[in-house]
Amino acid sequence: MVAHETALALIQLGAVFFGLGLLGRLAARIGMSPIPLYLIGGLVFGKGGLIALGGNVDEFIHLASEIGVVLLLLLLGLEYSASELVTGLRKSWAAGVLDLALNATPGVLVALWLGWGVTGAVAMAGVTYISSSGIVAKVLGDLGRLGNRETPTILSILVFEDLVMAAYLPVLTAVLAGVGFLAGMQTVGIALAAVTVVLVVALRYGKYVSMIVDSEDREIFLLKLLGSALLVAGIASSLQVSAAVGAFLLGIAISGSTAHNATKILEPLRDLFAALFFVLFGLSTDPRSIPPVLGWAIVLAVVTTVAKLVTGWWAARRAGASRYGRARAGAALVARGEFSIVIAGLAVAAGAVPAEFAALATTYVLLMAVLGPVAARVVEPILRGLDRRRAAVTTDAPG
């Protein structure tokens, strides 16, 4: 009986991995992020879907998805050195504050309107606020815009968003746990103290942290990296700070060539476990719950797309970019993805939000993960077309 269950679990897990590979290939063919397709895959195999996975596979995917969150945030931290974070914060704080106000507010208002209370409002604020660093970076690379004048502005805003997340996640964790005001402030205080300590350590002693995890042997290096990431994430979680924050801070502390090599060796693992995380979120969402919230998802998509366009335009204008550069900056920030699902996943796992929350978050991210790359590609041609039409009208007008 046990052997039969094991065989069935292996068959189902193999089918899931193979299916994800096919979805990833399809996404690459049509030039979009695979995240929406992974979410759809989860919807197909989850509650109310076409096929239900067995309990053993479901348990494995739950654990793998937790590792996926840790690796997502670890690699995000590896993208920045402590000095880059500090410099980015100084340059982008004004645009970052505008970004936060314009994009978190719609999520808060919709959650309160739907009666989800403070908990739902705090969680939905994060879902609608933060852009997808992974999708943005891929779009900029695919379109050859990494050297554009507006690109440093885009990256500075993303850095600011990541720093906001370092403070936001502990607040969200405290709210989801239902702790009191004093306990919540204690959690936030611990998180902010941890961020401060890590930045100081990374700035002054980052090379020593890198030396501890570094190794010329790829196997030993991988084991050290993965082991330290899980250890730090576990300790952070036990302090009620958030495993995601712990992994992000570890990534910041690792610098130089060690960070570069760590990114190369961890990316395949990150992609594997992160894919399972998106599938898990889809598994936890009943497709039948999507139609009732589709209207709200479209409203949020329209409002926050305009909000990101305004943010990018204003920030790029301050940096001296042209009209086309301002439009490109705003469109590049539109996509939502991995971090929005991480936030929604924390809320759903805590059982502190209604079932409709997962449906709305899934539908919203599906829309934004598709709309973001499309907007980045078409915004400049549309603007140039409008300029040509305006110029033609001016030329044809009687003198």
Look at residue 280 in the predicted model and tell me its pLDDT: 73
Question: Is 4 part of any domain?
Answer: no
Look at residue 158 in the predicted model and tell me its pLDDT: 82
Query: pLDDT tens-digit profile of 86-118?
Result: 666 677 788 889 999 999 999 999 999 999 988
* Average pLDDT of the residues in 64-77: 78
Alpha helical stretches, state H, the chain: 2-30, 35-45, 55-78, 82-113, 117-129, 133-142, 151-177, 181-213, 218-238, 243-253, 256-283, 291-318, 323-332, 338-350, 355-396
State which residues form the domain around 378.
72-384
Separation CA 258–CA 78 (nearest Å): 9
The DSSP letter of residue 287 is: G
Question: Is 92 part of any domain?
Answer: yes
Confidence of residue 68 (pLDDT cuts 50, 70, 90): confident
Whole-number percent of the chain with pLDDT over 70: 82
Query: pLDDT tens-digit profile of 122-166?
Result: 999 999 999 987 778 777 777 777 778 888 888 788 878 877 877
Count of domains observed in the chain: 1
Question: Is 31 part of any domain?
Answer: no
Separation CA 347–CA 171 (nearest Å): 12
* Average pLDDT of the residues in 229-245: 75
Q: Output the domain CATH number for residue 327.
A: 1.20.1530.20
* Average pLDDT of the residues in 290-303: 92
How far are the Cα atoms of 6, 9, 17, 37, 171 from residue 3, in angstroms, in the given order?
5, 10, 21, 32, 45
Confidence of residue 383 (pLDDT cuts 50, 70, 90): confident
Question: Is 60 part of any domain?
Answer: no
Between these two residues, 97 and 277, which has the higher pLDDT value? 97
- In this predicted structure, the answer to whether residue 47 has a pLDDT above a threshold of 80 is no
Question: Is 99 part of any domain?
Answer: yes
Confidence of residue 8 (pLDDT cuts 50, 70, 90): confident
- Phi/psi class of residue 46: alpha, beta or left (left: φ > 0; alpha: ψ in -120 to 50)? beta
Contact 336, 131 (CB under 8 A): yes
Question: Is 5 part of any domain?
Answer: no
DSSP per-residue codes, 318-348 = HTT--HHHHHHHHHHT----HHHHHHHHHHH
Question: Is 326 part of any domain?
Answer: yes
- In this predicted structure, the answer to whether residue 207 has a pLDDT above a threshold of 80 is no
Q: Mean pLDDT, the chain, as a whole number?
A: 80
Question: Is 168 part of any domain?
Answer: yes
